Amino acid sequence: MNPSQNHVDSVMKVVGRDAALPTRADDNPIHRSWMRCYRDYSLDPSSRYRLQVESSSRLRERRAQHERYLRTARAGMEQLHAQVADLGYVLMLADADGITLDFLGTASTEAPMRAGLIAGANWHEQLAGTNGIGTCLVERRTLSCDSRDHYYVGNLDLSCTATPLYDPEGELMGALDLSTISTPESRGSQPLISRLTALYGRMIEDANFIRHFGDRWILKLSRNAALVDVNAEAMLAFDGDGVIVGANSGARAQLQLIDGVARGGLVGHGLTAVFRNRAVDIWRLARGAEADDCGALETWTDQVCYATVRAPRRPAPAGSQPAAASGVTAPGNVAELEALADDDPQMNLLIHQARRLARRPLNVLIQGETGTGKEVLAKALHQASPRAAQAFVAINCAALPESLIESELFGYQPGTFTGARSRGMVGLIQRADGGTLFLDEIGDMPLSLQTRLLRVLSEGEVLPLGGDKPIPLRLTVIAASHRRLREEIAAGAFREDLYYRLSGATLQLPPLRERRDLAYLVHRILRDEARALGTSEAIAPQALELLLQYRWPGNIRELRNALRYALSMADARGIDLDDLPAEVRAAALGASCGLEWPAASSPPIQLAAVDEQGRTGDVSDGQQLLDTLRSHHWVISDVARELNLCRATIYRRMKRYGIVAPTQFC
């Protein structure tokens, strides 16, 4: 039996075996292609493929559609061809329809032309059967199609390897193909050819990605710090807000969002939805982009990546710059949001959500215990919004006397009531026109006023007391309450329709006792209060450890008051144990732990370096880590920066040396 008949028999054996199957269960991509050719395209494997070639005019039109891309790809093709030309390989670059737009090969022979290895040839699988380009485009994977893998007997003298190419938006753009008409007797060289093809395919993709996003910041990522800038494994393009606008193939395959959204859905999310690091840390890396600084970033899936940031090489297109008119905020305006937390997962997720919400004209409801910082979050949301230059009007609904709350909120016309101002008064709601109205403790607003507020929100206008002509408003409301408003609705104390008007989105602030970044908050508040009082922000380690042990039922408000008191009591050397409020000292030194607090010069634990096999090693590195932790008051992000390590590494080394943070003593 001749080779052609043997090949036809092999194809028919596979398609005959699988023809009755409802689905193609075969994991072999070549066999799947054979089934498509037989079942879907009705192709005869014993036939010879009649090459279809685009006309010169049609080919010019196709090439014109991808002019810049082709220039970028040509540089990569020339590099690859220089490495394989002596082996008899030719290169083809095809579009998503399987038509070759560019070709590099040996000009001294007509064999490539006879085999269809020319520009303009149509290698779509539906026409050409199983082949490198066509099948690669269908399977969307790098694959080799050796002589006997082709469907048509007329293509048995070809051996092809192709890899898919994607555009910067993640859409399939075509394929890069290496083919030879002198098929090797052995497939031994195919793994190397396959790796080369895939490598240069990614190089072409990435070069096109960088060119396309030349007006944006580009974050390059790699597991190897030395190679991150020249051989990034993943790249993200982001705008001036830190919002991802593009992701290359490596990023789509390797990165995942904080909430577990399927891979590939990165565009439109903030960088903090991918990385545990705060946005300010990433922007700090971006500001060093000209110096090619390299830093460590940690993903929410616990990958540690080394990163560099490439600054924009050309101005962003009109309408894409952060501006109030476009509803997008400048990166500097998010600083207050980013400063709300350090490495607490709950707060980092909340900050990510808040950044997205701040960019939209959406009413927001903030829920949280008393003292958790609801007004601070509201102000940060305002500063991160397009309304930052407009008024932020805060109203404490629980503090206004019921007799005055209506006139204070809605204003009044002259002569409306006895004692009214002769010129009348603009209400607080109207003062917030174009800006943000913050309604604190909205759960304490009387029902009668809830009805009037609902009308303001639904109609977009306010009617002052004594007035007869409503005043139109552009109003965005942030409301806050420590009460459980759904329970208040059930009890008849809060209007359900008003609740849904206010809760376009809900942010839940965690209590301080549940947060992992207490040390960060202590030092941040301590620095602010010390600056306001004109005193030193120094604090003894023993005093800090007591603060970290206290449960803080009054949350951040209580913490701020305690630090303000301690600073007022402390001398020039800083806060010591005796300077802390009595309730903090009593609670922390009492029944909570029963600890004997060590002197600052001695470790609270016996250091022991233990590896995964349980072997004890040198503790000098552990002592250095412990000293650094103490000097930075257990703020892990500061320690990581000083030691030039990521936070995950700090935690792993703490575990290795048996170092336990003060917040974990109990």
Please check whether residue 4 lies inside any domain of the structure.
no
Amino acid at 322: P
Both 182 and 245 in one domain: the answer is no
Residue 331 lies in a domain: no
* Tally of structural domains, the chain: 5
Task: State the Cα–Cα distance between residues 466 and 452, nearest whole angstrom.
Answer: 14
pLDDT for the residue 663: 46
Query: Is 636 inside a domain boundary?
Result: yes
- Cα(131)–Cα(178) distance, integer angstroms: 12
Give the integer Cα–Cα distance in Å for 146 and 157: 9
Domain CATH for 411: 3.40.50.300
Rounded to whole angstroms, the Cα distance separating 470 from 267 reads 42
Last residue of a domain, one of 210, 235, 254: 210
Q: What is the distance between the alpha carbons of residues 399 and 206, in angstroms, rounded to a whole number?
A: 58
Q: Does the CA dihedral 118-124-130-136 come out positive or negative?
A: positive
At what angle are helices 56-65 and 67-84 packed, to 10 degrees? Answer: 100
Please tell me whether residues 136 and 95 are part of one structural domain: yes
Is 143 inside a domain boundary? yes
Q: Are residues 420 and 527 in the same domain?
A: no
Same-domain status, 517 and 470:
no
pLDDT category of residue 65 using cuts at 50, 70 and 90: confident
If we measure between CA atoms, which residue out of 152, 145, 149 comes closest to residue 127? 152
On whether both 124 and 200 belong to a single domain, the answer is yes
Closest CA to 522 of 541, 508, 505: 541
What is the C-alpha to C-alpha distance for residues 198 and 141, in angstroms, rounded to an integer? 9
61 and 200 belong to one structural domain: yes
Strand ordering across the sheet containing 304-310? 244-247, 234-238, 217-222, 304-310, 295-298
pLDDT of residue 101: 94
The last residue of a domain, from among 256, 285, 312: 312
State the CATH number of the domain containing residue 69.
3.30.450.40
Q: Name residues whose C-beta falls within 8 Å of residue 8's C-beta, 6 or more positions apart in sequence.
A: 45, 46, 153
Which neighbouring-strand residues pair with 392?
A: 436
Dist. CA 156–CA 195, nearest whole Å: 23
pLDDT at 382: 92
3-state secondary structure of 347: helix
Whether 247 has a pLDDT exceeding 70, the answer reads yes
pLDDT for 277-292, tens place per residue?
A: 877 777 777 765 444 4
Placement of tokens 């007997």 in the chain: 153
Residue with tokens 């507020």: 453
Whether residue 296 sits in one domain with residue 224:
yes
pTM: 0.51
Does the pLDDT value for residue 608 go beyond 80?
no
pLDDT tens for 78-123 read 989 888 888 888 899 999 999 999 988 864 455 566 677 888 999 9
Q: What are phi and psi of 178, to 5 degrees?
A: -110, 125
Which is higher by pLDDT, 184 or 272? 272
CATH of the domain at 518: 1.10.8.60
If asked whether residues 194 and 70 sit together in one domain, one would say yes
Q: Where are the alpha helices (DSSP H) in 460-538?
A: 485-490, 496-502, 518-533
Q: Residue 606: what residue type?
A: Q
Q: What is the span of the domain harbouring residue 658? A: 609-664
- DSSP per-residue letters across 307-366: EEEEPPSSPPPTT-S-BGGGTB--GGGGHHHHTT-SS-HHHHHHHHHHHHHHTS---EEE
Say if CB 112 and CB 74 are below 8 A apart.
no
**Where is average pLDDT lowest: 81-90, 247-256, 591-600?**
591-600
Q: What is the rounded average pLDDT of the residues 242-257?
A: 88
Spatial separation of the C-alpha atoms in residues 331 and 150, rounded to whole Å: 54
Say if residue 364 is in the same domain as residue 449. Answer: yes
Query: Backbone phi, then psi, for 6, in 5-degree steps?
Result: -60, -40
Pairing relationship of beta strands 436-440 and 392-396 according to DSSP bridges? parallel
Do 166 and 274 lie in one domain? The reply is: no
pLDDT of 590 reads 52
Percentage, residues of the chain above pLDDT 90:
33
Residue 163: inside a domain:
yes
Q: Which residue has the tokens 């220039």?
A: 71
pLDDT of residue 656: 77
> Can you tell me the distance from the alpha carbon of 604 to that of 665, in angstroms, rounded to the nearest whole number?
10
Question: Are 651 and 579 contained in the same domain?
Answer: no
11 within a domain of the structure (yes/no): no
In a domain, 86, yes or no: yes
42-63 CB burial, b ≥16 within 10 A, e <16: ebebeeebebebbeeeebeebb
CATH code for the domain of 271 = 3.30.450
Q: How much is the average pLDDT of 524-531?
A: 90
Do 494 and 524 lie in one domain? The reply is no
Contacts of 455 (CB under 8 A, 6+ apart): none
Average pLDDT over residues 125-145: 94
Give CA–CA dist 222/229, Å, rounded: 8
| pLDDT band with cut points at 50, 70 and 90 for residue 606 | very low
Residue 121 tokens read as: 């040839």
DSSP, collapsed to helix, strand or coil, labels residue 42 as: coil
Polymer length of the chain: 666
Rounded CA separation 608/659 (Å): 9
Q: Is residue 171 part of a domain?
A: yes
Write down the pLDDT at residue 302: 81
Comparison of pLDDT for 593 and 538, the residue scoring more: 538
Tokens of 421: 């101002």
Q: Residue 131: which of 10, 196, 34, 246 has the closest Cα?
A: 34
Percent of the chain with pLDDT over 70: 83
Nearest-10 crossing angle of helices 582-589, 541-549 = 80
Read off the pLDDT of each residue in 437-460 and give the average, rounded to a whole number. 89
Scanning the structure block, which residue is given the tokens 């230059």?
389
- Domain boundary residue, one of 210, 225, 248: 210
**Tokens describing residue 649:** 């590494």
- Terminal CA-CA length for the chain: 82
Average pLDDT, the chain: 81
